[in-house]
Each structure stands twice: as C-alpha cells, then as structure tokens.
Amino acid sequence: MTDRSIIFFDIDGTLLNHNKKLPQSTKHAIFKLKENGHKIVFATGRAPFMFTDLRKELDIHDFISYNGQYVVLNREVIYANPLNVQSLEKLTEVAWTNNHPVVFMDHEDMRANVPSHPYIKESLETFKSNLILKHDPSYYLGRELYQTLLFCPEGTEKQYEETFPSFDFVRWHSVSVDVIPKGGSKAKAIKLVTKKLNIPSEKQYAFGDGLNDIEMLQAVKNSIAMGNANENLKASAKYVTKSVEDDGIYYGLQMVGLL
C-alpha cells in the first residue's frame, strides 16, 4: 500500500481505559488499520516488560518505550539512551535522605532501593498488573537503565530538577515522577522512526492523554488528544476525540479519515 500512514499510540488512558482494559472498539480499530496497511507504533512511558501482553494481543512489536529512551522497530533495538550512572547514584543518595524511594528500570526488569514504601504501593497499583517488584539497591550497577521512578509528593521534584540538570522529571502520579535523560522524549524518538521509515509528516498521526504526550502531539502534524486528556495536552493537539471510555480511539480515527 503506497498510501501508508503511521499512527503512534500512548497506552494508559489512550489505548487502555481506566481499568487498564482494551476497549473492544479500540481493538477492532487497530486491526482494521493494520488490514489497511498502516504502521502502528506504541509510544509510552512504560517499560517494555510492562506491556508484553498488549503487544501479543494486538500483534504489534514496534514501540517507543520509557518516553523515548528505548525504541524497537521491526523487532530490533534502533535507539537506546541510558541514564548517567554517576548522576543517578547521587540522586539516589539525596532521595534516600528525603525518604523518597526510587525504582531502577532497564529493558527487562525493575528493582526498588527499599523493601517497601507506601508511595510505591499507591502508584504502582494503578497499573493493575501482576508485576512483582523486588528489592535490590545495587541494581543500577553494571547495567544500562533507561528510566528511574522517583517517589515524592507533588512539588518536591523541584529540588531534584535544580540539583540534577542532566535529568528530566516527568510527573505521572501524585507521588511519583519518571526520571529520564535530559531532552529525551517521545517526540525525538518519533522523528527517528519516521525518518528511518521515510514516512512524510502529513502521514503521521499520534494519540495521547497525559503530560508526557505534550511534546509528541506538538511534533506530529496530525495530533489527537483523548477526551479524558489533560487540558494542557488538548491545547497542544490538532484534534480532540472522545474519552477512552467512550470509544475515543475509534471515533478519533474516523474523525481524521483513517477509518
């Protein structure tokens, strides 16, 4: 098919509803897109191991994970942007003194630097998954980490932003932020993917709902915010579709002429 488009989908709050379920209308829409020859790519803040089942269910194996730090295309890693280990070690020390736990994450697994903490429990429960988080304070040694979760109340991340300029801090929960390399984003990864596949801007689409999707929707010509999206995100999008709970993906794809 020469008229192929590429569509980037965030996962939580976009493909998956608030119960972490894939609406039937969304599943139908994805398979219809594939049948019509379009390229589908996940673009998520999640780790690769946190959406394995979804990749299998939809038979999609191209993804941008960790908000752009680990990218797989045609089952091959085409980009990996790890955190600076020395800065991460210092951040962990500061967080420890503040009673702010951290979770280290590579492409295969994640480990916490504390045995347990209420902030970790509260935020990770929102994924409604069966992932078991183990304790290993030295997990950052000898491996490449693409994201770290820092568990701290809203506003307290400011002190870390000022102290660690080599990192970006992206809040995704009232008690948790993603820590990624400075300047890393879904938008940069999308530019890499679309250049590699030689897909022009007018054939690029992206759906999202969260603050970590703002740069992505600003970078993609045909950007669609979910009806349940953050208001700042809606302002960054070209289109606004219905909520994920109201068949927003299916409706949005019809709205932009892909279905």
Six-digit token pair at 9? 């989908």
Q: Which long-range contacts (CB under 8 A, 24 or more apart) does 94-100 make?
A: 94/160, 94/163, 95/150, 95/152, 95/160, 98/152, 98/156, 100/150, 100/151, 100/152, 100/156
Active site residues: 10
pLDDT recorded at residue 131: 80
Q: Over 80: is that where the pLDDT of 258 sits?
A: yes
pLDDT recorded at residue 1: 42
Percent with pLDDT over 70 in the chain: 99
pLDDT average, residue stretch 13-27: 96
pLDDT interval class at 2 (50, 70, 90)? low
Domains and CATH numbers, the chain: 6-80+184-255 (3.40.50.1000), 85-181 (3.30.1240.10)
| pLDDT one-digit tens code per residue, 68-99 | 999 999 999 999 999 999 999 999 999 999 99
pLDDT recorded at residue 3: 82
Lowest mean pLDDT among 106-110, 168-172, 244-248: 168-172
Q: For 195-256, give the DSSP string.
A: HHHT--GGGEEEEE-SGGGHHHHHHSSEEEE-TTS-HHHHHH-SEE---GGGTHHHHHHHHT
Six-digit token pair at 181? 């390399």
| pLDDT one-digit tens code per residue, 166-221 | 999 988 899 999 999 999 899 999 999 999 999 999 999 999 999 889 999 999 99
Six-digit token pair at 211? 């603050």
Q: Report the mean per-residue pLDDT for the chain.
A: 95
pLDDT average, residue stretch 54-63: 97
